[in-house]
Structure 1
């Protein structure tokens, strides 16, 4: 397996799992159809500059109107409004109509279904409306050429060089870059940093044994339960760090969905470890009955020291967390010996463009994307609680100063020696991918299997066998391997 160092990755299955969770991560009023106004940049943020010369192929005589869609959810809309407003300041010949809404997925989905090229958005600043089948329909623009363009801030660096490689590679379909990564979130164990510091608990266990020792220490203190989780959402796989299991050849077999892959010891190992954690009594009583918000409230109120979640939790729970609450992020050490690099899971939203627009529209849309990844816009994203995929931004202390201490910790982790397995991010063989049921073995059987194992309904081996049976049914429907 090819290793990707100093970076993170996206998990396609997790992206699907997170769609409903992240859709509810905070929202504001519906700004549908609103055309953004210029001048939204805060004086404390870096100001981008642009030569009066227009890029090749573009002219001030171009009178262009672009339509863009963006979510009004956890990170708000300030970054989108800043990007649109400032771009129209720099290029007065361009008008951008920005639609933001908590229901942007439904809005874009309706336009995709209508298939009206004139009415359709030029650019979706989020994954809303996208599915791989649209690529075969010829409506998803190829964005590969952007990777050879210079970044907005440094003419000597290309966008491809400055964008996290693994994030970018995960959006390559049929050999072409069809989407751009919009952000990055790490998925791991989130812990109560203040509680850990006050009690001298180990914030960086390196092995499974050290992790169990930490949980023993927390449990023995009698001050709190070691772990809480939400039984109504699929976060349990993150607790035992499935990413650290899937390497040394397992990935290639998984991508091909070989026979018996779900019963493979590598696949059921996280379930076995989950059983061990339960048998040792490390969980908050009744945690399996809690929903997403309830479990996080138990964590914030100090009733559990840790919770499997993502780096978005701080922004998501900003109105509920105590004023002095401090978050920490921990890489779950499922290995028996210390390893370098370490493995962690990740998630990213993405950006895509409609291919059936006039060529001039598409050229201007791509120029907008160059600006979108500029330090000025990405600094606003950091202020909003986001974590950018632009490497130069992650390392620029003049920009990361706008991040919370927790997000600074996350960005520092991203620039360290961290790897993630790409198995869940990759599409299976085209023949299997043509049947949308191919995700059922992961989304329904395996994901539900974690809770079933926790509740004693099934054994890890039974879950693996059920997932194998499910994928074989899908293979049979497409005529077999």
Structure 2
């Protein structure tokens, strides 16, 4: 499952800085495994709480009676993607134990937007929602545009048992980013969920066994096409029907080519970006993948995410873009003998440059018209408890955007996944960003406008000049809409 970015204006920081503080899905992927929506509830007697964690809010303690609620029933809707739904079932059960008498009803589906949209339109939304996946996130964008989300600032400013506000326990910069505080007023309307790291992956067993050096620059990566051919595979594949995955290379490459200024141009709809040298350099990488000998695996453009990822695991391509959910999402897929997941990150454009990675944090919300906001806020705060963080790692193999979460999750993560989060210690640069919200009523979905036409570039049906001309016009119109709405 592919997460959304947590900074719309884009922020860049060294991964080591993030993880010194304690931490370490154009998003078009759907779930692997069972996908039916469901509603489950239970009620059990209370269990002793864990001790107050240093990384999160505490659960109710035995010495402190659990809070009671005027309305004890909570309806939640969650995206069932690569993280599955088992975590949500488990954490709901634990919450109901710690808050006896409460009842949580869960609706989970890869197409969660289709299930909740009619309820939102009717003014009867779920009390709590976790929305992800590109097919679903437009409904979240709509709620932001309509200012239909509950202000969560009090949840994060509230102090836990240790007297520390919850906001101080969230990864630095996350709550301040536009994706969590979308209106620039310092108020928080979207709560962070799992933290992800994205970039290029490879078969570590193949590289180690044959002494193949991992490329540190794009030139080194393209030069390894010959080595790929010697080993019976193409250089590269990606989730062809979902070219949004290519953002995992594109966004870090934009920063590598032009720094923060270029990222600001790209995410804030400056039309001149599409005439810049940065554009030509970064999209030139895509053109080379499409045209160089043995660079792109045959048939890639027609494959969905599962098919392309399986082909990679079976040794048909040397590199593929994906995120930290990759290993768990494909745990049952066939693969070549001895395969081991290896994470490369994103190569530097020039010798001496830093290898980078794209980072993201997913979001959870409480609709403004939720029937039970008090219980929804209590449940949200509970999700940041040590108990919940460990459950999330055990059941979903995810790492919450909370300081100290990777180490709390370590026992439930594969060595590969844990090491990716701890790559911060080696100075890998983390880049993040997302598009500024368009004007209300706009016909444009920026992610679709930017990434979907890349399929035509990869199939050699669209030139870079024609693509850039189209995007120049799109950005110009989006900018005009924002200026007319007073949002620019």
What TM-score, normalized to structure 1? 0.82
Q: What residue in structure 2 maps to residue 242 of structure 1? A: 251
Cα drift, residue 352 of structure 1: 0.3
Q: What residue in structure 2 maps to residue 424 of structure 1? A: 434
Q: In the superposition, relative to structure 1, how do residues 39 and 380 fare at CA in structure 2: closer, same or farther (>3 Å)?
A: farther
Deviations 1:252-293 (A, max 9, x none): 333442332222221232211222343243222333333322
Which one of the candidate residues 240, 243, 253 is aligned to 2:265? 253
Q: What are the residue-to-residue correspondences of 1:162-181 with 2, within 5 Å?
A: 162-168=169-175, 169=177, 170-174=179-183, 175=185, 176-181=187-192
How many Å separate the matches in 2 of 1:425 and 1:167?
16
Unpaired segments of 5 or more residues in structure 1?
9-14
Q: In the superposition, relative to structure 1, how do residues 453 and 334 fare at CA in structure 2: closer, same or farther (>3 Å)?
A: farther
How many Å separate the matches in 1 of 2:368 and 2:90?
25
Moved more, 181-190 or 446-455: 446-455
Which one of the candidate residues 281, 288, 294 is aligned to 2:307? 294
How many Å separate the matches in 2 of 1:158 and 1:61?
23
Q: Aligned with 1:270: secondary structure?
A: helix
How many Å separate the matches in 2 of 1:136 and 1:475?
16
Q: Aligned with 2:271: secondary structure?
A: coil
Q: What residue in structure 2 maps to residue 76 of structure 1? A: 84
Deviations 1:212-243 (A, max 9, x none): 34444333x24322222233221563474432
Q: What residue in structure 2 maps to residue 12 of structure 1? A: none
Contact preservation (8 Å) 1:438, 1:474: yes
Cα drift, residue 180 of structure 1: 1.1
Q: Aligned with 2:461: secondary structure?
A: coil
Contact preservation (8 Å) 2:45, 2:100: no
Contact preservation (8 Å) 2:169, 2:402: yes
Q: What residue in structure 2 maps to residue 217 of structure 1? A: 227
Q: In the superposition, relative to structure 1, how do residues 49 and 312 fare at CA in structure 2: closer, same or farther (>3 Å)?
A: closer
Q: In the superposition, relative to structure 1, how do residues 167 and 330 fare at CA in structure 2: closer, same or farther (>3 Å)?
A: farther
Q: In the superposition, relative to structure 1, how do residues 437 and 103 fare at CA in structure 2: closer, same or farther (>3 Å)?
A: closer
Length, aligned pairs only: 450
Which one of the candidate residues 67, 85, 97 is aligned to 2:75? 67
Q: In the superposition, relative to structure 1, how do residues 280 and 167 fare at CA in structure 2: closer, same or farther (>3 Å)?
A: farther
Q: What residue in structure 2 maps to residue 92 of structure 1? A: 100
Cα drift, residue 467 of structure 1: 0.6
Cα drift, residue 419 of structure 1: 4.1
Q: What residue in structure 1 maps to residue 7 of structure 2? A: none
How many Å separate the matches in 2 of 1:357 and 1:239?
35
Cα drift, residue 418 of structure 1: 4.2
What TM-score, normalized to structure 2? 0.81
CA RMSD of aligned residues (A): 3.4
Q: What residue in structure 1 maps to residue 203 of structure 2? A: 192
How many Å separate the matches in 2 of 1:65 and 1:137?
26
Q: Does 1:470 align with 2:481?
A: no
Q: What are the residue-to-residue correspondences of 1:368-407 with 2, within 5 Å?
A: 368-383=379-394, 384-396=396-408, 399-407=409-417
Q: What are the residue-to-residue correspondences of 1:44-443 with 2, within 5 Å?
A: 50-52=60-62, 59-60=67-68, 62=70, 64-116=72-124, 120-127=125-132, 130-135=139-144, 137-150=146-159, 155=162, 157-168=164-175, 169=177, 170-174=179-183, 175=185, 176-203=187-214, 205-219=215-229, 221-235=230-244, 237-238=246-247, 240-246=249-255, 247-277=259-289, 278-322=291-335, 324-340=338-354, 342-357=355-370, 361-383=372-394, 384-396=396-408, 399-413=409-423, 417-427=427-437, 432-440=438-446, 442-443=447-448
Cα drift, residue 351 of structure 1: 0.5
Contact preservation (8 Å) 2:14, 2:429: yes
Contact preservation (8 Å) 1:180, 1:350: yes
Q: In the superposition, relative to structure 1, how do residues 59 and 469 fare at CA in structure 2: closer, same or farther (>3 Å)?
A: closer
Cα drift, residue 179 of structure 1: 0.9
How many Å separate the matches in 1 of 2:152 and 2:200?
34
Cα drift, residue 142 of structure 1: 1.0
How many Å separate the matches in 1 of 2:86 and 2:356?
33
Q: Aligned with 1:98: secondary structure?
A: strand
